[in-house]
Structure 1
Amino acid sequence: MTRFLKVIAAIDDINRQDPRLELHNGEHFPKEYLYSLRMSQMLQLYDKDADELLKIAAHGQHIKRWIIPRSDYSMDRKGYLSWRTQLKLMHGSLLRDIMQTHDYQEKDTESVVNMVIKKKLKSDEPTKKLEDVVCLVFLQYYFKDFATQHPTQKVLDILRKTWNKMSVKGRALAMELDISDDSKKLISKALTDSD
């Protein structure tokens, strides 16, 4: 196995330990393991020539996410932001350790960490690509359930924020996703109302 495949396998080994299961095509998957597969598949669709560092960042985006529960933080915006910050730092630290174990140079490990913590989201092209993929995976696989659990106004607000994070390429691909008619209507309403 190449060092890249060893890193991907190490991420999978960790994410398969997620005690939370999600049903997909009649089979139960550990939640973050399934998320990592979806991220890698979406990256392949988004950029078939993505380099291995972006592939690692995408596959490891939510590594071991379950060990820092949302319920450990206050249920307000400040608590949410603190939770997200701690998650990103933890994901980055784990990926750094795994990559160092498999002989990646420091500049490469830091590149992946910076992508995952979104350090240079506005200026770094690989980080922008990763954010597009994150948004596309959300819209494809998680938005429908999210929309049923929150008030319409909050859903529309999240859609606008998601859309504003995406590049022109990401937005174009989003319009081609296989999503429910209800989801499409909400996206259309969010975009129309924001004009």
Structure 2
Amino acid sequence: MTLNILRIDASVRREGSVSRELNDKVIDRFAAAGDVAVTKRDLITPLPLIDETWIGATFTDPEDRTDEQTRALELSDDLIAELQAADTLVIGLPIYNFAIPSGLKAWIDLVSRRGVTFRYTESGPVGLLTGKRAIVTVASGGTEVGSDIDFATGYLRHALAFIGITDVLFVKADRLAIDAEATLKAAEAAVAELPLAA
């Protein structure tokens, strides 16, 4: 059975990116264990920010949307289709200035759609993309994952849960500026121990 992986790279660096290198290792681990199909979404190519037209389109029933509103949602539809088709997400998360990169925030905005990836109920929002898991490779120079100044991992965990993805594992290569060798060694060991099945 093929494992469908959606790989998301959020680093603004093509070369020398620890999160990209760790994503490679995660993919290699799954590929060595069985058949995988990988869809790549590289956020180094900027995504558009949501705007008034986009918001208006999401709050308009599909049959009532104008041509402009339909066009405004085309990329969002494509990104959501990638998510829907995936069994596992592999997300590279560099921490920039204590938070997630702007490209990853733009992606989250575009895939968080009322009635498509989440819905509101009397007891609160319910995510619609259930039965998936995410493996997040985190890289930071000085921000320790889980510390008071880490505003990235908690936010991403919450954003994924909001759309229904609650099985989230973090592989951390944090505080690289302090002890890169030990940090990378620990991260690679964590990749080697990742469970192959959700």
Q: TM-score range with shorter-chain normalisation?
A: 0.3 to 0.5
Higher percent of residues as strand: 2
Larger RCO: 1 or 2 (CA < 8 Å, sep 6+): 2
